[in-house]
Structure 1
């Protein structure tokens, strides 16, 4: 296809960051293109540079980054384009769905305010017209109770719901090219299929091109016409999806395709000591109906019982908004709840922040959104050491540095990176920083909220092995919250399936996976392990 027909043309792009440790060459001469109406995927491990190529194309690099080369949208050069002219393209003709929705949404504005802005600025709609369009968009991306959610703030939505809001925002002005950076990372498997089907339907209706950045090869096979495989800032392989998946030409591509979670965790004995117990745990947001006040209550967790033993991993799965993350926070007393939570025979339900502090060292959490949970003003070393300064203030500076280096090595990060800031890492690397921050305190219980969702399969395997090793060495117990059923099966020995705030099925992992007793669980299993066949007929535009 002739160059002038291309929607996007990336030619020999190089991206370099200036860091305290010297220059980091994140992208080292990458060329790729997207044709009209085409779905193109860019895949690679965490840190391969795939997101930075698109950040450079959109003029969104961090202040210490610089770009060389050429990026053209329908023949118009974007690199070096004045901001005003660039804004006439991005957000209108070219839009982007970002990997971390919590940091992309303004916490001070409602969902309606944030979705209305591009409609009014770029679309010229009135306030009333924009409000109607916002409702239409939220219903389009299947936000439950969409009208009520218009007045919600980002922190009041689940991770998957926030991601759907980002998708709605990107689609608001019917773009010519949609750049989707890990748009389904935070979503459970059933919603993944729905969102991908939605994007495919919109693409067919609008003639929109899609550039899909992801580490999930199952989605790539189902969705993309062509694929670029990146490694260490370079394109290793490119070609039609069918050919790359069934006849890969490089060892690196073959390694990516073969990387799947493996292994099996043996269950703990019934006599293993109980570390954490929840009895009739309930979490309700909003307020009940009052005089001239509507009922705004949302029962996020409804009377759940949980018993976590020493050395055990309880997997918690369910669709976005099922309450699984809220349950994890309630168990650690990070939000108000009712019922009873007992840690090491101490009733911690309802304790204030000061009273909970002695228990925090033993009860740690790894959050779903690593960028939102890491301070942008602290270096990686300072972030990881922060807990030591609070809970082990007697350590010398030298000993703290030794512990930080040890924790970074444990999670597969080079200790020499300790002087870098979070924005200088890829999404997967940031998640490993978050894990290091938790394990450095050597806790007894860790609640892991989607700890591998931002990681490619090869790194997922490394993190799973890391968590297994730490669990054995320190007799750790995990509550592992995830929508990735393959990872849950590899790491957990007990499984709880949640829907609408309730546990609908639970039991030993193998029993639930091999013989699910509810239709809901069977639907989750089917969507998780048969995504390609569900999507391929409608989502592939080039075959």
Structure 2
């Protein structure tokens, strides 16, 4: 049976929509104090949201989209400051003390954050974290809150929701953690939902489900939605109005049908034209094998015990084999929870697995820790959640050069600085920013920092776990070009894990399609996109390109 929300109040209890904005930002300025001086991230912008309306705020990383809403919610970092006005139903909320602001946050205005792993408490179960807003704002009992939590997890597409209530955040995939964040934000049925890249970590089929879910809840409760995104395709099909931001300013605003089909601003036209393009030629057939795995299996056990019954056994990777050659890029695609990231981690022995794994001919399951450490310099990984993998206590320069201290101790401080400057330039970040901390960067900028940290060691194999998921299209194209350039210069080999099929198609020469831990299809990129053999692959391609028929391959249009 499909789960439904049991609202604590009906839509008739809410004020009828009128010309007064439900949520309004006026003359907002956001600045940060940094070691290099004051930085103005948002400059005097005006935005208004009405009941039942969806306003998409789009723009490149660093344009000020997220910082605008973080300031509105009173969530700026300690070195941040905001001036101007933020009103909810006519009430000024900018500058409210925490106690007064907490009456609004969560209950009246909900927020879905871009990076779920840093927003979910690792010490509390998923059920406890969803129950908190239910007991705090809706005054539900513990039993009622748990039942509502099951309904919410079902609505956002979490499998076996009753069992997942007792799981911890690290036991879920990135996409599943994002769905938990959406459930938490919707728990108290807010009037305003601020969705900061809510579908970034989700595969294309779940993206469509989440958008449909938000639309359904919006129609039921008259909820206004601020939809922050770099995906202009989603904005075109979900938003009523669009505001385009650049360098902290709104450069264009209007109905989505006008802004995203006949834009007035040159910057908006550039965003619409940005798309990763090109194809990747395969390596020579006799190129040496750098990584190989045969019959790989990874199994997790969740829960269980003397009084809790048998544990839940999850076969995250089931009998999968991989062969990666020098200069090759294998794209690993599939829905959230399909085992993509688990496979990548198992291949470089970050998690335990059964099967035969060889790196550069060495059987890594049998070597000792010291020998494995020597191999690790040649194999690096870029994680899906950049903020969770970057130390908040270290500057960007310290983060990037940390690997050099371990694997290249012969380099002095000046040499490490030179390498850091080169790495930052490679990923299109200003080296002068290396004395700043991760929280001072946008999500896309943090992902580029994570890539710089990996490539500074000049590895032979790079595992890229959703490296472009937090990036806008124009930067995705830059990163794809960067990875191609590095691969051509150094014969790098990539395992490229992603749910973004347009990026996978541009960067990979071989594709592996996974579902529920199993390999359902593999083959050359062109062949898989042109004539996929598995029905599941056809579904993924249709979901990915269905919103943009102009770029859809023949298989998706068929």
Q: Distance in 1 between matches of 2:235 and 2:242?
A: 8
Matched, 1:257 2:285: no
- Choose from 235, 238, 242 the match for 1:220: 235
Query: CA 1:200–1:165 in structure 2 vs 1: closer, same or farther (change >3 Å)?
Result: same
Deviations 1:498-527 (Å, cap 9, x if unpaired)?
A: 000011000000000000011100000000
For these two proteins, the number of residue pairs brought into alignment is: 533
User: What is the CA–CA distance in structure 1 between the aligned matches of 2:372 and 2:34, rounded to whole Å?
Assistant: 38
Contact 1:314–1:492 (8 Å) recurs in 2: yes
Partner of 1:112: 127
RMSD: 1.5
Residue 465 (str. 1) matches residue 466 (str. 2): no
**3-state secondary structure, aligned to 2:114:** coil
Q: Tell me how far apart the structure 2 counterparts of residues 294 and 107 of structure 1 sit (CA, whole Å).
A: 24
**1:507: which partner in 2?**
523
- CA drift of 1:295 comes to 3.3
Pairs within 5 Å for 1:177-216: 177-216=192-231
1:269 matched to 2:284? The reply is yes
1: distance between equivalents of 2:156 and 2:369?
Answer: 37
User: 1:47–1:426: 8 Å Cα contact kept in structure 2?
Assistant: yes
1:245-289 CA-partner distances (Å, limit 9, x unpaired)? 111001100000000111111111110000000111111001798
Q: Residue 33 of structure 1: which of 8, 33, 48 is its match?
A: 48
How far apart, CA to CA, are the structure 1 residues paired with 2:367 and 2:126?
A: 32
Q: Distance in 2 between matches of 1:193 and 1:516?
A: 21
SS of 1:107's partner is coil
Map 1:208-357 onto structure 2 (within 5 A). Answer: 208-286=223-301, 293-349=309-365, 351=367, 353-357=369-373
Is the 2:156–2:183 Cα contact (8 Å) retained in structure 1?
A: yes
Q: Which has the higher contact order (CA 8 A, sep 6+)?
A: 1
1:97 paired with 2:112, answer yes
Counterpart Cα distance in 2 of 1:392 and 1:346 = 22
After alignment, is 165-174 or 343-352 more displaced?
343-352
Q: Which runs of 5+ in 1 are unaligned?
A: 534-543
Extract unaligned runs of 5+ from structure 2.
1-15, 550-558
Cα deviation per residue 1:301-356 (whole Å; 9 max; x = unaligned)? 00110000000000000000000000000001001111011011100026564442
Indicate whether 1:141 and 2:156 are aligned.
yes
Change (3 A) 1:205 1:287: closer
1:376 to 392, 415, 434: 392
Map 1:158-173 to 2 at 5 A: 158-173=173-188
Shift of 1:78: 1.0
Preserved contact between residue 4 and residue 75 of structure 1 (Cα < 8 Å): no
Q: TM-score, normalised by structure 1?
A: 0.96
TM normalised by structure 2 equals: 0.94
| Aligned equivalents of 1:128, 1:188: Cα separation in 2 | 32
Structure 1 residue 478: Cα displacement:
0.1
Structure 1 pair 200/401, CA: closer, same or farther in 2 (3 Å)? same
Q: 2:80 aligns with which of 65, 89, 99?
A: 65
Take 1:82 and 1:318, find their aligned partners in 2: how far apart are those partners? 45
Q: Deviations over 1:451-499 (max 9, x none)?
A: 0000000000000000000000111000000000000000000000000
**Secondary structure in structure 2 of the residue aligned to 1:261:** coil
- Alignment correspondent of 2:376: 360
- Please state whether the residue corresponding to 1:237 is helix, strand or coil: strand
Name the structure 2 match of 1:519. 535
Q: Distance in 1 between matches of 2:356 and 2:479?
A: 32
1:193 and 1:531 in contact (8 A); partners too: no
The answer to whether structure 1 residue 132 and structure 2 residue 132 are counterparts is no
Secondary structure in 1 aligned to 2:414? helix
Output the CA distance in 2 between the equivalents of 1:122 and 1:521: 43
Residues in 1 aligned to 2:427 and 2:261: alpha-carbon distance in whole angstroms: 32
Q: Which residue of 1 aligns with 2:103?
A: 88
For residue 52 of structure 2, give the secondary structure of its aligned residue in structure 1: coil
Cα-to-partner distance string for 1:187-221 (whole Å, 9 max, x where unaligned): 00000000000000111111111100000011000
Give the secondary structure class of the aligned counterpart of 1:306.
Answer: strand
Asked if 2 retains the 8 angstrom alpha-carbon contact of 1:277 and 1:343, the reply is yes
Could you say if the C-alpha distance between residues 490 and 326 of structure 1 is closer, same or farther in structure 2, counting changes exceeding 3 Å? same
| Aligned-partner SS, 2:315 | strand
Specify which of 447, 450, 473 is matched with residue 431 of structure 1. 447
Alpha-carbon spacing, 1:106–1:218, altered in 2? closer, same or farther (3 Å): same
Paired residue secondary structure (1:304): strand
Change (3 A) 1:12 1:63: same
Change (3 A) 1:172 1:352: farther
Question: Which secondary structure state, in structure 2, belongs to the residue aligned with residue 466 of structure 1?
Answer: helix
